[in-house]
Amino acid sequence: MIETIRWSGDWTGHLELIDQTLLPGRLEYLACRDAATVWNAIQRLQVRGAPAIGIAAAYGVVLEIARGQPPTAPGAADLQREVHNVCDYLEASRPTAVNLAWALARMRRAADDLHAETKAPRRDDLCRRLWREARAIHEDDRAMCRAIGMHGAALLENVDRVLTHCNAGGLATAEYGTALSVIFTAQDQGHLMHVYVDETRPLWQGARLTAWELHQRGIPATLICDSMAALVMRQGQVQAVLTGADRIAANGDAANKIGTYGLAVLAAAHAIPLYIAAPSSTFDLSIADGSQIPIEQRAAEEITRPFGQLVAPDGVAVYNPAFDVTPARYIRAIITERGPIEPVTSARIADVLGVI
């Protein structure tokens, strides 16, 4: 599969990201050599998807610390503070996806652990430790997504037609994706699902990205406008709805790309199960329910001038939340790398995630 995120060289190297704003027309990599470039790539959705932005941000910490000049004195406390400051900066790029905070917390701990071990680490030693941690985050996500695919393929072994929303494939993660990992793994096992792809307004991540990924894999896909989902369900074309998530509360309420909540209500009305595929890193057990999930508000121009094309009167009032929250009662199961969570309850989540 095409690598969404790749690192070139050792700890002194640089980060390369597929510029997802150019797909499906052009496949190009964006070279990142500092944290500011990574921050802008996350904010502009050149890299997107909860796991992918976490990985990119982790590498962004390495880039920024490696750029610093070696101090004239050991300056261990200053180096440690520098890491925390860079992490704080990158964490502010997007507020909803918890994988971003999860990955940066790991980078902070890596720096703190080295400081505790050596008291006065050199900058190059710190960079090596941070680089190893970023690579571990990258590989951990790859393994988690593969495991999600295995569990999900088993759970949906009798499902032949699914509907998905936004993009939860390789472009959103280290490799196989979350929701699309289920479909890709099923294909690997000889089970070919037909996928109805919501276009996913206002930025068409379904049309531009998911449809592109499925086409690359030779998986049959039918692109539909978001407003067509109800009719497709009523016609019996959909046996399950399968999406990813950006943050999941302790009770199972799940934030995902705007429009997911509407699909959940439609699926319930048509007695169609909704499955969410997400790694354990997407859970935020510090919040009790979805009402506490911060929802990112994005620029009006994404609706009035998508990709530079004027489609609405200048000056019209716009409401543009990037995410909505699906209540746990609408979710049949959450597919994690540790197995499916079914039923979706606080107790079952704690049990599967190993929370004491």
Burial class (CB in 10 A: 0-12, 13-18, 19+), 65: buried
Q: What is the phi/psi pair of residue 19, to 5°?
A: -80, 100
User: Identity (one letter) of the amino acid at 247?
Assistant: R
246 given a catalytic annotation? yes
Which of 140, 141, 246, 253 is catalytic? The answer is 246
**How is residue 325 annotated by DSSP?**
E
Q: How many helices (H) and strands (E) does the chain have?
A: 12, 14
Burial class (CB in 10 A: 0-12, 13-18, 19+), 222: middle
DSSP symbols for 173-191: SSSS-SHHHHHHHHHHTT-
Query: Peptide bond preceding 121: is omega within 30 degrees of 0, i.e. cis?
Result: no
DSSP symbols for 37-73: HHHHHHHTTSS-SHHHHHHHHHHHHHHHHHHSPPPSS
What angle do the packed helices 123-155 and 98-118 form, to 10 degrees? Answer: 140
User: Identity (one letter) of the amino acid at 347?
Assistant: A
Say if CB 127 and CB 66 are below 8 A apart: yes
Distance CA 32, CA 60 (A): 8
Matching residue, tokens 């620029």: 299
**How is residue 321 annotated by DSSP?**
B
Q: For strand 194-198 and strand 221-224, is the pairing parallel, antiparallel, or unpaired?
A: parallel
CA gyration radius for the chain?
20
Nearest to 252 by CA among 138, 168, 347: 347
Say if CB 334 and CB 340 are below 8 A apart: yes
Q: Give catalytic residue positions.
A: 246
